[in-house]
A and B are shown apart, each in its own frame.
Chain A
Amino acid sequence: MIDLRFRVNGEWRSVRVPPLARLLDVLREHLALTGTKEGCGEGECGACTVLVDGAPVNSCLVPACQVADRDVVTIEGAGHESIQEAFADCGGVQCGICTPGMILATRACLAEWTARGEPCTEAGLRRALAGNLCRCTGYGGIIAAALRAHGGAT
């Protein structure tokens, strides 16, 4: 077992976990943060997306030992409320399995474009969210929600 300390949603947490435990399992099973979902477990679907130091990653492929001393944001964290509301309002959520990952991936790309002064376009969003699969919505509602969250057209 290894001892690990990292920041989750602004709070420092310490855990004792198996050597190559996945960040996904540490969040869900050791820290009871079950908002992060597992879809494929192989990096394909993005359901497990969380932010590490602001960058979106698939927590199913991240060994938890690599987030020691780093900053992790999950769907339970603060700072993406307006995106969550936009998803609810625009029909961006159906079964909800992809939603936590979609929202964090959306948050990351909107933050990046804002910081770099780049426009938020539908084409850009479709590329930025290409690693997040949704089996329910057909993506229209998700793109509309992301555009609304950015303050663009709905």
Chain B
Amino acid sequence: MNAAPTAVYSPRSLATALAVLADRAPVTVLAGGTDLMVELRTGRTQVASVLDLWGVEELRFVRAEAGGVRIGALTTITELRRQPSLGAWPLLAACAADFAAEQIRNRATVGGSLGTASPAADLGPVLWALDAVVRLRSRDGVRDLPIPAFLLGYRRTARRADELIESVWLPGRLPTERGAFVKVGTRDAQSIAKVVVALVASRDAGSGQVTAVRAAAGSVAERTVELASLQELVGRRPDAAALLAVSRVAASRDCAPIDDVRSSAVYRRHALQRVVCDMLTSTLEVPLEDG
């Protein structure tokens, strides 16, 4: 067993939770525990005291805000699948459907996924592709950070020790946009990704030109990364050969995969290229070439 923490604070209000963070440092934040309890058990993480957020109902919400939606940190993966008000962001439900298994989905939270800053987190690429903005809150106020400014490195975020991840805001989507989410793992359920990609793309109905592409990938670098090379499609009318070429560029330039227990760098690059090419083909509705 792990070294037991000396204290667990289980506040019922956000104000009390923020006071604990400010006054009792160092405190480790606990949400659903599906990452932290494993880290503690394996001894990878040691904690002095714990701030248990589970009873802070103020962090459990999904509400329309400023033309988009704000999702509270304690929202579970199960809720991402079920909330009718998230219907305009189908990538969330697609990601949630492939996330772990029922028992984990009922406990794992959006804030916890962001908090791990795991390069393999499934929500990382999804929130990146959807231009999400993370809201951090401390006793002194709030900071709003877009995902690229929040996810700094391997299990490293821009969160200060006195801040909580309070929520994440997603802008509303355009009707012309199409999204796709693909996770490559060893089995459908309960597998951490070898490669995971989320992509949102749109093209002008009249001219057929690509108007926007945003894609990000997980498990192919030390943190979630944007597939920035795909930007070169904007303003073009790509054919199948162009999509193949651009996906090859993305798989070589935009990632830095490693060999680890789940997969190899070579496989990851290969899978990334194929997955990105397929996702572009389907979201941009590009006909496959003959012969």
**Which residues of A approach B to under 8 Å, CB–CB?**
2, 18-20, 22, 41-44, 46, 49, 55-58, 60-63, 65-66, 68, 105, 108-109, 127-128, 130-132
Q: In this assembly, does B52 line the interface, its C-beta being within 8 Å of a C-beta of chain A?
A: yes
Given A20-B5, A62-B33, A109-B102, decide whether A130 and B107 contact each other with a Cβ distance below 8 A. no
Q: Are A19 and B189 in contact (CB under 8 A)?
A: no
Interface segment among B34-42, B248-256, B279-287: the answer is B34-42
Decide: A56 and B102 in contact? CB cutoff 8 A: yes
| B103 engages A20 (CB within 8 Å) | no
What CA separation (Å) do A55 and B107 show in the bound complex? Answer: 10
Q: Report B94-132 CB contacts with A as 1/0, cut-off 8 Å.
A: 000000111110110000000000000000000000000
Taking a contact as CB atoms under 8 Å apart, the answer to whether B54 and A66 are in contact is yes
**Number of B interface residues in the complex (CB < 8 A):** 30
Known: A57-B106, A61-B34, A66-B52. A2 touches B100 (CB 8 A): no
By the criterion CB–CB under 8 Å, are B102 and A20 in contact? Answer: no
Q: How far is the CB of B185 from chain A (nearest CB, A)?
A: 12
B246 contacts chain A at the CB level, 8 A cutoff = no
Contacting pair A63 B52 (CB below 8 A): yes
- For the complex with contacts A19-B8, A131-B100, A131-B189, 18 further pairs of A-B residues with Cβ separation under 8 Å are A19-B5, A19-B50, A20-B4, A42-B38, A42-B41, A56-B103, A61-B34, A61-B37, A61-B38, A62-B37, A63-B30, A65-B54, A66-B55, A68-B10, A127-B188, A131-B102, A131-B103, A131-B190
With known contacts A62-B33, A128-B102, A131-B101, A57–B107 Cβ distance under 8 A: yes
CB neighbours of A60 from chain B (8 A): 37
B7 at the interface (CB under 8 A from A): yes
CB-based A-B contact count at 8 angstroms: 87
Closest 3 pairs between A and B when the two form their complex, measured CB to CB: A131-B101, A130-B189, A19-B8
Q: Is B6 an interface residue (CB 8 A)?
A: yes
Determine the distance from Cα of A68 to Cα of B12 in the docked complex, in whole angstroms: 12
Q: Nearest Cβ in chain A — how far from B86, in angstroms?
A: 18
Which one of B40, B50, B54 has the greatest number of beta carbons of chain A within 10 Å?
Answer: B54
Interface residues of B (CB under 8 A from A): 4-8, 10, 30, 32-34, 37-38, 40-42, 50, 52, 54-55, 78, 100-104, 106-107, 188-190
Chain A residues near B33 (CB-CB < 8 A): 61-63, 66
Contact status B103-A22, CB under 8 Å:
no
Q: Which residues of A contact B104 (CB under 8 A)?
A: 43, 58, 61, 131
Instruction: List A contacts of B10 (CB < 8 A).
Output: 65-66, 68
Q: Which chain A residue has the least Cβ–Cβ distance from B104?
A: A43
Residues of A with C-beta under 8 A to B107: 57-58, 61-62
| B6: min CB distance to chain A, Å | 7
Select from chain B the residue with minimum beta-carbon distance to A48. B103
Residue of A65, A105, A132 with most chain B CB atoms under a 10 A cut-off: A65
Contacts of A49 in B (CB 8 A): 103
- Taking the closest CB of chain B, its distance from the CB of A61, in whole angstroms, is 4
